[in-house]
Amino acid sequence: MRKISGIAVRSLPVIWKEYGWREALEIEMSLETEVEALRKVPLFRGIDETKLRLLAFISDRTEYPSGERLCSQGEEGDCAFIILSGDANVLVDTPDGEKTVAQVSENSIVGEIAILCDVPRTASLVAASDMDVLTVSKDDFLKLLKEFPDISLEVMRTLALRLERTTRDLADARRGAAGS
Amino acid sequence: MEKSLFSFIWKYSSRQQLFILMVTVLTYPVVYVLLELPKLIVNDAVQGDNFPRTIVGFNFDQVPYLVLLCFTFLGLVVVSNGLKFYLNVYKGRLGERMLRRLRFELFQRVLRFRLPHFRKVSSGEIIPMITSEVEDVGGYIGEAFALPAYQGGMLVVQIGFIFMQDPLLGLAAISSYPIQGYVIPLLQRKVVLLSRQRVRNIRVVADKVGESITGVAEIHANDAAAWHSADISDRLYENFRIRYDIFNRKFLIKFLNNFMNQLTPFFFYLIGGYLVIQGDLSIGALLAVIAAYKDLAGPWKELLSFYQMTADVSVKYQTVVENFDPLDIYDTSRLTSDDIVKLGGDLTFDNVAFSGGAAGQEVLDISLNVPEGRACAVVGPDGSGRSEVLQLAAGLVSPATGKICIGEHDLDKLTDSTLGREIAYVGGAVHVWTGTIRDNLYYGLRHRPLVAPEREGEDLKNYKRRVSEAKETRNPIYDRAAVWDDLDAAGVDSQEKLDEKALALLEAVSIDKDIYRLGLQSRFDPSMNDAFAEKILNVRKTLADRIAEEPALSGLVELWHPDRFNASASLAENFFFAVPTDPEITMDQVPELPTVKTFLSDTGFDKKLQQIGLKIAETMLELFSNVSGDSGLLGSYSLITPEELPEFERIVRIAKSDQQRPGLSDADRTRLMGVAFKLVPARHRLGVMSDELKDEIIAARKQFLEEVVSDDEGFVAFDPDVYLPPLTIEDNLLFGRARVDRRDARRRIDDVIRTVVEETGLRHPIIYAGFGYHVGVSGSKLSAGQRRKIALVRGLLKNAKITILDDIATGMSEDDKALRKGIREILDGKTFLFGTSHVEIASEFDETIVLDQGRILDKE
């Protein structure tokens, strides 16, 4: 038994047996689970616990049944999706219609670029199974950054690391291309 | 209108005034005997001898005589006070009636002003004139004749008594009167002038305040508050200065009066003393004269203050009335006449000229002819005289020279009863009245009461009284409760048909969707229309079935279910599972209701809720304590507002400490409960709602239903089979909540509701329910476009022979084009004038008149 906000919660399988999955989910549907998920997102790795809780609280928790569309390619992106459970297909428009190019699953963040700058969605996202998603809206995230500049630093550090890696990969690729 | 107050009073209340005088005279002997009787009791009954006394043949011993006199005294006290009471009530009633007559007359005169006159007067000035400025007149009218007569009579009698004692002393007694009679009016005249100034100044203040309220957005937008403040402050200083001057003079008059009155005894003592010493006057007579003179002071003072009041009230009356007497005022018959002339034939302007429109716009020498039944565009930019020509054609303003006729009839000679019914005019600046949409739509059909309501018993008595009072004061006796909607004029034979016709017109001007939306948001009383409630309940069932059948929908809504916890609804809704009957009471206020409070403390649930509230407050503090108030995060997401944060910090600190004191106050506990009740579990995800807790809430809900809701008129329980009047129609249709944890759930479920509503034919009834929507002050709850369209439908619904639209639907968009086409179809075969500033539009019409600089440029 572990405690969530002071209330005893039995382990998930037990509840599942007693009440069915919906109830089990609902009990798990508390901030703590969301914080756990957020912690696993690289972009938020350096942010401390209480601020992650705040981010989780101001984000929307949304369910998507299998087949429902989370976002469409080309539309203005205004939020990032953090998948708490389930999988989604990433689809791209081709002359022959939409094609699945990848699948994203639990604990991954999709569309995070959209919460930092204005870019259209580069792909569509469709739920491949019943999903539970945390939606972080751009406005709220930016407000949070303004409020806590140390978060900005963390995000910047992560982005810089990513940029450095991309640059190195690019250089490697060039070298590879030049070498061949 | 009567120029002076006294001619007004005499003209309308001479009979009553004479009656008051008569009754006043009647009280003289009673008062006299009342004053004499105590002397008789003391001197004759108590101290007298040689009993018995004989009165009208009966003999009385001393004690019975005393008793008789005392009872006579008692009787006279009753009679005298009774008379006084009766007289006061009579005077008060007369004053109120006269006031009502005056006020109505003033209002009617406002209605009789010609339109251009309203450019010179403002409502800010007119309103205080009709309401507060004439108020004093009412109180004065009852006294206007009785007081001077009574007090004057007293004065004459006293002076006569003094003269009888000694003519010289009599002269001394009145020696100061000529001076007072000369000086006081002189001072009073100045006061009158000042009073006029004061009234005018206050009117300007009222006007400025009114203007500031109308233009408050401009004040803020231009940071002009300082300018307006300075302006008002100046006016208020002016007011102070005038009033101070008035006080000075008023009290100077009082001072002079008192001084003169006390100066006279000086002469008495000097002249009277001399006469007594000389032996020309007895000392007794001198004392009597001095006593009589003291009695003079009372009536004299009364007369003086009456004189001051007369001056004051007369000034008020005059300064009001002079504003209501413009030379060119319409005859009363223009408003009250019931003659309806059926207008037919061509509309012709014959060398018409008019000046004094907006911005001094002139119309010069216009001659034109619009054949009957044709649609004619009147084209001209603003300031070309277009609006003036259209208003002239509607008979709203009169030409300076020339003649405007429809068929044979000169518009200037027709009354409102013809112009307002046979012609429909909708100008650019429409007015929507405070009231419901229905009131506004049918406004053009409400000319006179048509079908009187049936009244009986108390109601009938009240009505008769109302009518007789109206007759007393020359007010109209139109019955507000009657049916006013003129169905014949609209060309229908029943109220239902009228609604249908209005709906058809609303669709034609495409405002039906807006009204539908308003209808969904409105509440209606199922006792008025059972069938409609029944239908709504059917739709609710259909919706529930459809939601149950389609998995795509079932995930979007959580319906109210007595045995289930609704995670998308607040804890309060889940707990009470009922709504207050009075829609004004919000869910937040429910825990404050006494019955609910008792229930919560009896069941001990208040403690549990406080625990939940405390837990939420803790989490909120933890999450938001470092967030600044102005970031907007706190406002939009927290269950606690930034202002409340310090309060809750204190509450949590106290609750956490183990000390008994100071402990939480009742207000603190209420606050905690309030936070708990606001929790929407699916949105806030704080993890405080365990299954046990949900079960407990559902159990408590049942208990609450049994113990409180079932026998409390103040609540209606959520019941899937019952229509809930306090909820909007929309909430009654969808008996649940759109899930907050599904994207676009609200919009998607709205679409489903719309389809079901349309399938079941409920759309029209809902629009009719929207007719009952209250549009706010002057339609402030509607958009400008909606107001125009409602005014347009109002005009079209009149079904008039001639329809005149000015600056309505004159855009070049497809919507406006379709709208114009629709209007032309509706008005097919009727004379139709359409004012616009776009020349392109003219081609849509049979005829065109182009105006420029107040002249006709072109005619086709």
Query: In whole angstroms, what is the distance from residue A5 CA to residue B775 CA?
Result: 48
**3-state class (DSSP) for residue B144:** coil
- The verdict on B401 and B356 lying in the same domain is yes
Sort out which chain A residues have CB atoms less than 8 A from B552's CB and list them: 65
For residue B422, what pLDDT band results from cuts at 50, 70 and 90? very high
Residue B551 has pLDDT above 80, yes or no: no
Query: In whole angstroms, what is the distance from residue B533 CA to residue B525 CA?
Result: 9
Mind telling me how many Å the CA of A111 is from chain B's nearest CA?
A: 17
For an interface test with B, the pick among A2, A12, A50, A58 (most B C-beta atoms closer than 10 Å) comes out as: A58
- The verdict on B209 and B87 lying in the same domain is yes
- Across the interface, whether the CB atoms of B691 and A58 are under 8 A apart is answered no
For residue B855, what pLDDT band results from cuts at 50, 70 and 90? confident
The shortest CB-CB distance from A62 to any of B631, B691, B741 is to B741
- The verdict on B227 and B125 lying in the same domain is yes
Query: In whole angstroms, what is the distance from residue B201 CA to residue B256 CA?
Result: 29
- Across the interface, whether the CB atoms of A61 and B682 are under 8 A apart is answered yes
Sort out which chain A residues have CB atoms less than 8 A from B624's CB and list them: 54
When divided into structural domains, chain A yields a total of 1
Contacts with B796 (C-beta within 8 Å, 6 or more apart), sequence order: B424, B505, B508, B509, B803, B823, B826, B827
Q: Given CB atoms, is A137 within the 8 Å cutoff of chain B? A: no
CATH code at B350?
Answer: 3.40.50.300
- What is the C-alpha radius of gyration for chain B, rounded to an integer number of angstroms? 39
Residue B662 has pLDDT above 50, yes or no: yes
The answer to the question of residue A176 being in a domain is no
- Contact between residue B665 and residue A10 where contact means Cβ atoms under 8 Å apart: no
Q: Given CB atoms, is A16 within the 8 Å cutoff of chain B? A: no
The two structure tokens encoding residue B467: 């009518």
Residue B583 has pLDDT above 50, yes or no: yes
Sort out which chain A residues have CB atoms less than 8 A from B631's CB and list them: 143, 146-147
Query: In whole angstroms, what is the distance from residue B728 CA to residue B523 CA?
Result: 5
Nearest CA in chain A to B629: A147
- The verdict on B175 and B301 lying in the same domain is yes
The answer to the question of residue B220 being in a domain is yes
pLDDT one-digit tens code per residue, B788-831? 999 999 999 998 999 999 988 888 888 889 899 999 999 988 99
Q: For residues B656-682, give the mean pLDDT.
A: 82
User: Of B324, B352, B378, at which residue does a domain stop?
Assistant: B324
Best CA proximity match to B253, nearest among B183, B353, B152: B183
pLDDT one-digit tens code per residue, B616-639? 888 888 888 777 766 667 666 677
Question: Looking at residue A24, what is its pLDDT?
Answer: 39
- Across the interface, whether the CB atoms of B687 and A54 are under 8 A apart is answered no
The residues in A 114-133 lying below 8 A from B, measured between CB atoms, are none
The answer to the question of residue A180 being in a domain is no
Strand-pair partners of B407: none
- Across the interface, whether the CB atoms of A5 and B623 are under 8 A apart is answered no
pLDDT one-digit tens code per residue, A25-74? 444 446 777 888 888 887 777 788 888 888 888 888 888 888 888 888 88
- The verdict on B712 and B724 lying in the same domain is no
Nearest CA in chain B to A57: B684
Sort out which chain A residues have CB atoms less than 8 A from B555's CB and list them: 63, 65
Query: In whole angstroms, what is the distance from residue B694 CA to residue B690 CA?
Result: 6
The answer to the question of residue B316 being in a domain is yes
Question: Looking at residue A15, what is its pLDDT?
Answer: 39
The answer to the question of residue A173 being in a domain is no
For an interface test with B, the pick among A2, A3, A4, A7 (most B C-beta atoms closer than 10 Å) comes out as: A7
Question: Looking at residue B631, what is its pLDDT?
Answer: 66
Mind telling me how many Å the CA of A86 is from chain B's nearest CA?
A: 15
pLDDT one-digit tens code per residue, B51-110? 788 888 888 888 888 999 999 999 999 998 999 899 999 999 999 999 999 999 999 999
Mind telling me how many Å the CA of A32 is from chain B's nearest CA?
A: 9
* B85: containing domain: 5-324
The answer to the question of residue B727 being in a domain is yes
Query: In whole angstroms, what is the distance from residue B412 CA to residue B419 CA?
Result: 10
- Across the interface, whether the CB atoms of B687 and A64 are under 8 A apart is answered no
Q: Given CB atoms, is A8 within the 8 Å cutoff of chain B? A: yes
The shortest CB-CB distance from B686 to any of A5, A8, A70 is to A5
Bridge pairing between strands B375-379 and B831-836: parallel
Q: For residues B453-463, give the mean pLDDT.
A: 92
DSSP calls for B553-594: HHTTEEE--TTS--TTS-HHHHHH-EEESSTTS-GGGGGGSH
Query: In whole angstroms, what is the distance from residue A29 CA to residue A16 CA?
Result: 14
Residue B668 has pLDDT above 60, yes or no: yes
CATH code at A49?
Answer: 2.60.120.10
The answer to the question of residue A154 being in a domain is yes
- Contact between residue B441 and residue B771 where contact means Cβ atoms under 8 Å apart: yes
- Across the interface, whether the CB atoms of A54 and B615 are under 8 A apart is answered no
- The verdict on B106 and B10 lying in the same domain is yes
* A146: containing domain: 7-161
Model ipTM over 0.90: no
The answer to the question of residue A169 being in a domain is no
Q: For residues A138-156, give the mean pLDDT.
A: 83
Query: In whole angstroms, what is the distance from residue B143 CA to residue B306 CA?
Result: 9
Q: Given CB atoms, is A85 within the 8 Å cutoff of chain B? A: no
DSSP calls for B757-812: HHHTT-HHHHHHHHHT-B--GGGTTS-HHHHHHHHHHHHHHT--SEEEEESSS---
Question: Looking at residue A3, what is its pLDDT?
Answer: 36
Q: For residues B431-457, give the mean pLDDT.
A: 93
Kindly list the residues of chain B whose beta carbon comes within 8 Å of any beta carbon in chain A.
Answer: 551-552, 555, 567, 615, 619, 622-624, 626-628, 631-633, 636-637, 682, 684-688, 690-691, 739, 741-743
- Contact between residue B168 and residue B299 where contact means Cβ atoms under 8 Å apart: no
What's CA B176's distance to the chain center, in Å? 52
Q: For residues B568-585, give the mean pLDDT.
A: 87
- The verdict on B627 and B638 lying in the same domain is yes
Question: Looking at residue A41, what is its pLDDT?
Answer: 80
The shortest CB-CB distance from B632 to any of A54, A64, A143 is to A143
- The verdict on B665 and B759 lying in the same domain is no
The answer to the question of residue B592 being in a domain is yes
- The verdict on B274 and B150 lying in the same domain is yes
pTM of the model: 0.76
Residue B459 has pLDDT above 60, yes or no: yes
Residue B226 has pLDDT above 60, yes or no: yes
User: Of B718, B739, B755, at which residue does a domain stop?
Assistant: B718
Mind telling me how many Å the CA of B599 is from chain A's nearest CA?
A: 26
Residue B661 has pLDDT above 80, yes or no: no
Residue A6 has pLDDT above 50, yes or no: no
Question: Looking at residue B546, what is its pLDDT?
Answer: 87
Sort out which chain A residues have CB atoms less than 8 A from B744's CB and list them: none
Mind telling me how many Å the CA of A170 is from chain B's nearest CA?
A: 39
Question: Looking at residue A14, what is its pLDDT?
Answer: 41
Nearest CA in chain B to A3: B687
The answer to the question of residue A179 being in a domain is no
Residue A4 has pLDDT above 60, yes or no: no
When divided into structural domains, chain B yields a total of 4
DSSP A53: H
The shortest CB-CB distance from B741 to any of A63, A70, A146 is to A63
The answer to the question of residue A143 being in a domain is yes
Question: Looking at residue A153, what is its pLDDT?
Answer: 86
- Across the interface, whether the CB atoms of A7 and B688 are under 8 A apart is answered yes
Sort out which chain A residues have CB atoms less than 8 A from B686's CB and list them: 5, 30-31
The answer to the question of residue B30 being in a domain is yes
Residue B853 has pLDDT above 50, yes or no: yes
Percent share of chain B, pLDDT over 90: 34
- The verdict on B841 and B820 lying in the same domain is yes
Residue B839 has pLDDT above 90, yes or no: no
pLDDT one-digit tens code per residue, B338-378? 888 898 889 999 999 988 766 567 888 889 999 999 999 99
- The verdict on B724 and B713 lying in the same domain is no
The answer to the question of residue B463 being in a domain is no
Cβ burial B24-54 (10 Å sphere, 16+ → b, else e): beebeebeeebeebeebbeebbeeeeeeebe
Between A and B, how many residue pairs show a Cβ–Cβ distance under 8 A? 77
- The verdict on B767 and B782 lying in the same domain is no
Question: Looking at residue A26, what is its pLDDT?
Answer: 43
Strand-pair partners of B831: B802
The shortest CB-CB distance from A140 to any of B628, B633, B743 is to B633
The shortest CB-CB distance from A50 to any of B622, B632, B691 is to B622
Mean pLDDT of chain B: 88
Residue B155 has pLDDT above 90, yes or no: no
The answer to the question of residue A172 being in a domain is no
Bridge pairing between strands B847-852 and B375-379: parallel
The answer to the question of residue B214 being in a domain is yes
Question: Looking at residue B429, what is its pLDDT?
Answer: 85
Question: Looking at residue B635, what is its pLDDT?
Answer: 64
Question: Looking at residue B221, what is its pLDDT?
Answer: 94
Percent share of chain B, pLDDT over 70: 98
